[in-house]
């Protein structure tokens, strides 16, 4: 496909101009932790007055003033209740970046696309079935207008996830993907996140609305989006998903995490629960947040089990993920516990650990991995191989935002995306929002 009219217009003035809309999540700032070729350093910010936008601008300022490789963004800020209408009317940019309160995010996406903007949107782009339907409309409009609508999937750039995908594509190592059963699925992933965490070296202040699932979304519909994306991207690379026929649900559940008043005050820097949370407060001191969820479903006939959990603060380490892909020759497992020093480590666990011919095959196939990721080696540990990854590949979660943004810029330049990206984004949000509807029906 040739360049789209949008990409051609970008080429004519050679510049992409960013608009940041209602930034209420630190991911909006992380997009600007790096500078990019072809993006104007002037960024237009439209937001309501309040602490959300001030926190965003403070992070941008910290990147501009850091000693090591400072950025040089210039924020042109409009604050007012009519921020959305003002952005659409002025149209000072051509790409909208969104990361914040998710209650209106799908509406923002739809109106931005309607107005001719491309959109780089943080996950989730839809938190319930109603917004999923609106998101589908936005994708259809984007296709018609030849605009790029793309969500920020940073976990594709975490090196253990990337290598798990690479080894899964080697039949001599992995074999074929096992279909498994609901009780023993072929694919299983779990992520654990924490409300108390550090971002860019400082303890993150979370907005109070982040504890309201009608604004933030429940756990599976928020951070769980990454798990659905990794399942699709790692296990069925390049395969187009038709959500109406390729996905069947086995079971769904969701449950609450308990946050004390003291914990809430610590991470929000407030002095009590706001009124909009009172219905979820027990005895005036305990907030119940439905931020945990699990979905058990089939994708292309393969049983998948995904779990997203939230707790207040990690005992050790930080946000963590467990992942296992079960193949006919081996399991590919990512662990992140005390044995791994709370950093993700990928293992190859042969189904027949005493097969010398298989071991030789693994070493031979490793050369294919090393051609793409020089320096990666294998270390035998009992009945399994540990994938040894050079430190240069562990660039950290925050650095992955620049890599996603560069991929988005590549799609803008080409005026096109791989044919699987859009239908698989639609399938992803169908999975998460349908799971929510089912979970609420099962309460």
As averages over each run of 10 residues, the pLDDT of the chain (443 residues) reads 44 78 96 96 98 96 97 98 98 97 97 98 98 98 97 98 98 98 98 90 90 96 97 98 98 97 96 96 96 98 98 85 97 95 96 94 98 98 97 94 97 94 98 97 59
Query: What's the chain's Rg over C-alpha atoms?
Result: 22
Q: Which CATH superfamily is domain 5-152 in?
A: NAD(P)-binding Rossmann-like Domain (3.40.50.720)
**Contact (Cβ atoms closer than 8 angstroms) between residue 185 and residue 296:** yes
pLDDT at 277: 97
The span from the CA of 141 to the CA of 110, in Å, is: 8
pLDDT at 9: 44
The CATH fold assigned to 156-393 is Dihydrodipicolinate Reductase; domain 2 (3.30.360)
Question: Would you tell me how many other CB atoms lie within 10 Å of the CB of residue 312?
Answer: 16
The span from the CA of 292 to the CA of 308, in Å, is: 6
Delimit the domains of the chain by residue range: 5-152, 156-393
pLDDT at 4: 45
DSSP-H helix ranges across 146-301: 159-168, 171-174, 213-216, 224-235, 243-246, 261-268
pLDDT at 11: 43
CA distances to 63, 70, 163 from 67, rounded to whole Å, are: 9, 6, 33
Two structure tokens written together for 296: 């058990």
pLDDT at 316: 77
Torsions phi, psi for 129 (to 5 deg): -65, -40
The span from the CA of 377 to the CA of 389, in Å, is: 7
pLDDT at 13: 55
The span from the CA of 273 to the CA of 430, in Å, is: 32
Helix (H) or strand (E) holding 191: strand 187-194
Question: Would you tell me how many other CB atoms lie within 10 Å of the CB of residue 369?
Answer: 19
pLDDT at 52: 95
């Amino acid at each position: 496909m040739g360049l789209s009219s949008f990409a051609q217009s970008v080429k004519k003035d050679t510049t992409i101009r960013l608009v940041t809309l209602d930034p209420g999540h630190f991911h909006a700032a992380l997009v600007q932790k790096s500078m990019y070729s072809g993006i104007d350093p002037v960024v237009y910010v439209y937001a309501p007055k309040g602490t959300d936008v001030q926190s965003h601008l403070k992070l941008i300022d910290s990147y501009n003033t850091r000693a090591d490789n400072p950025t040089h963004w210039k924020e042109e800020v409009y604050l007012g209740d009519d921020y959305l209408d003002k952005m659409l009317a002025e149209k000072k940019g051509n790409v909208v970046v969104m990361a914040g309160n998710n209650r209106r995010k799908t509406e923002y996406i739809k109106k931005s696309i309607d107005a001719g903007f491309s959109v780089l949107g943080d996950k989730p782009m839809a938190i319930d079935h109603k917004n999923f339907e609106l998101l589908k409309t936005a994708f259809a409009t984007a296709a018609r207008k030849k605009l790029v609508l793309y969500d920020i999937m940073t976990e594709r750039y975490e090196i253990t996830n990337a290598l798990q995908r690479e080894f899964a594509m080697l039949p001599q190592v992995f074999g074929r993907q096992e279909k498994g059963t609901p009780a023993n699925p072929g694919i299983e992933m779990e992520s654990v996140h924490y409300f108390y965490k550090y971002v860019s070296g400082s303890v993150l202040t979370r907005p109070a609305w982040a504890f309201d699932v009608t604004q933030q979304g429940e756990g599976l519909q928020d951070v769980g989006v990454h798990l659905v994306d990794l399942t699709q991207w790692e296990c069925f690379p390049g395969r187009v998903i038709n959500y109406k026929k390729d996905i069947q649900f086995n079971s769904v559940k969701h449950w609450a995490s308990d946050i004390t008043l003291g914990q809430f005050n610590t991470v929000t820097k407030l002095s009590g629960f706001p009124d909009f949370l009172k219905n979820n407060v027990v005895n005036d001191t305990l907030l119940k947040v439905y931020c945990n969820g699990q979905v058990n479903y089939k994708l292309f006939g393969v049983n998948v089990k995904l779990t997203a959990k939230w707790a207040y603060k990690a005992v050790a380490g930080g946000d963590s993920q467990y992942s296992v892909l079960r193949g006919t020759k081996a399991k590919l497992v990512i662990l992140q516990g005390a044995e791994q020093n709370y950093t993700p480590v990928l293992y190859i666990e042969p189904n027949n650990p005493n097969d010398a011919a298989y071991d030789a095959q693994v070493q031979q196939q490793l050369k294919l991995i090393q051609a793409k990721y020089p320096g990666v080696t294998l270390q035998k540990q009992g009945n399994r191989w540990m994938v040894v990854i050079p430190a240069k590949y562990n660039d950290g979660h925050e650095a992955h935002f620049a890599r996603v943004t560069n991929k988005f810029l590549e799609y803008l330049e080409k005026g096109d995306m791989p044919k699987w990206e859009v239908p698989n984004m639609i399938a992803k949000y169908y999975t998460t929002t349908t799971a929510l509807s089912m979970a609420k029906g099962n309460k």
